[in-house]
A and B are shown apart, each in its own frame.
Chain A
């Protein structure tokens, strides 16, 4: 796949593969990311986003041209068997509505759907995890049914409870820890999405498929 090389800063490169969001490109980037773990490339960090692979390097030690050369010549197996996260599937138990989903009522009025219809639509989709960011363990999920598209809160909440399942615009996500946030909260999961003591602290990984199960 073709890519553009961008300098995000004097020590951070983006290998940008696309100008739009699509699963296929993202899956390829995840494959590339996986094949770079444990490679000889001397990098401070490497991680995938929607469309890019981001590499931070120390220009004193590593030259940009060597990193670009390495990535260009990397042979990536697109054999699905070698793609670890692609096969990962996670069901997330959710208590929808009431205290767990304080915005379900207002969304119901905005979208002219009953609360049960919203829960039914939200929990019958299999979502694709594009990337983790915003806060530790926060998944950017793709695949929200367009019937559930609704605007963000005009005033963000100062405090969103850990485990809050929320929707905004074309997106749905889960707040792993207590934080501020402007997405509309429809439910809550007691699943621990981020544990800083674990070697792999985020339960959800890019490339995973997830589904919400109403409790």
Chain B
């Protein structure tokens, strides 16, 4: 059934899930949500497992809901508003038919996610709805008058919020990396440059990759290119121009440039939120440390990280010299009682 209609042409908003895996031997990229932490947290909050969400890049999206539902907005803060009233991120939002949800430009990062209880139901290509626009795979890139659907509409849920979530605004510039297979081919001078200077995101960035500006990186013995071999998102390659190329979620799984470093899985979520001119300082850690940190982050964010919000409130109302006790309780959808007697609310 139809759940929402897109009211404008956003800059780049698309359907994404955890990605398209198992077709790498056919030359198919993985795609999927760029900020996996935020995408997963939204769906974790709603009780969803590997469903489709909307990934908004650069903001500017307006949608109208066609039926009641429960959603969550995660990722960077793009001033989400329902019917022009600001709404909170990282908690469930009860949507009523005809509500208009809008996002302006971003305050603190590149990507924001809208997840709906039950997940959006969209085109699947090779077991995934993740949109790859160049290869025309998966769900879709949203445009004006598009409709999105859900399989079964779950329009009622407890009001919940996440206790912990990534703080993009106060995140420092240090990002964890581990050494890649060709790291040792670098000159000693280049190794020093990597860890004693900072790099900046250039304007050349997309869901395929990010080019970093900074000091030139060189290889000892001058050689650079390798026999094309495996890559993955987060891998930092250096072509002959000596610049750093970060592979992102839509990138190919085969590449011919040396793989000198890679961002850890969890630091890549933060990298995926960076904008041009943002600064990066590499923090080199071991594989074991990366796995240990990853486990702690998983435990913090996905182990007992949901609390219920008690929205019930009671107040006294005087009207025509009569006293009324009005009670609201959002646990039961939009339930309002007057002197204990439920009344029907129309929106």
Contact = CB atoms under 8 A, between A and B. Distances in A.
The reply to whether chain A is a binding partner of chain B is: yes
B27 interface: yes
Interface stretch (A90-98, A130-138, A144-152): A130-138
B290 A135 contact: no
A59 interface: yes
B126 A133 contact: no
A214 to B, nearest CB: 26
A49 B254 contact: yes
A133 B28 CA distance: 7
Contact of B181 (A7, A20, A48, A194): A7
B166 interface: no
B26 A201 contact: yes
Nearest to B236: A9
Nearest to A4: B181
B235 interface: yes
B232 A11 contact: yes
A177 B135 CA distance: 8
A179 interface: yes
B188 interface: no
A167 interface: no
B291 to A, nearest CB: 5
Nearest to A59: B291
Interface string A45-68: 111111110101001100010000
B262 to A, nearest CB: 4
Contacts of B345: none
A78 to B, nearest CB: 20
Contacts of A64: 287, 291
A206 B254 CA distance: 14
Nearest to A19: B227
A135 B232 CA distance: 15
A142 to B, nearest CB: 12
Contacts of B24: 45-47, 54
A131 B25 CA distance: 7
A6 B259 CA distance: 11
Chain A interface size, as a band, is 35 or more
Interface centre among B27, B262, B290, B295 (most CB of A within 10 A): B27
A10 interface: yes
A128 interface: no
A52 B229 contact: yes
B15 to A, nearest CB: 15
B310 interface: no
B181 A8 contact: yes
A51 B229 contact: yes
Interface residues of B, number: 42
Given A47-B24, A201-B28, A12 B230 contact: yes
A200 interface: yes
Given A48-B25, A135-B135, A196-B137, A10 B262 contact: yes
Contacts of A136: 23, 26-28, 135, 137
A206 B25 contact: yes
B13 interface: no
A14 interface: yes
Interface string B225-237: 0011111111100
A20 B178 CA distance: 26
A11 B298 CA distance: 14
Interface centre among A9, A51, A200 (most CB of B within 10 A): A9
A52 B21 CA distance: 18
A47 B253 CA distance: 9
Interface of B: 21-28, 30, 125-126, 134-137, 178-181, 227-235, 252-254, 259, 262-265, 287, 290-291, 294-295, 298
Given A54-B253, A201-B28, 18 more contacts: A8-B180, A8-B230, A8-B259, A8-B262, A10-B287, A21-B227, A44-B21, A45-B21, A45-B24, A49-B230, A59-B265, A131-B228, A132-B26, A132-B27, A134-B27, A138-B27, A196-B137, A202-B26
Q: Which 10 A-B pairs give the minimum distances between C-beta atoms?
A: A54-B230, A133-B254, A47-B24, A202-B26, A9-B262, A47-B25, A10-B290, A6-B181, A12-B232, A132-B27
20 contacts: A8-B235, A9-B180, A9-B263, A10-B287, A11-B265, A48-B25, A50-B228, A51-B229, A59-B291, A59-B294, A59-B295, A60-B298, A64-B291, A131-B25, A137-B26, A177-B135, A179-B134, A194-B27, A201-B26, A205-B25
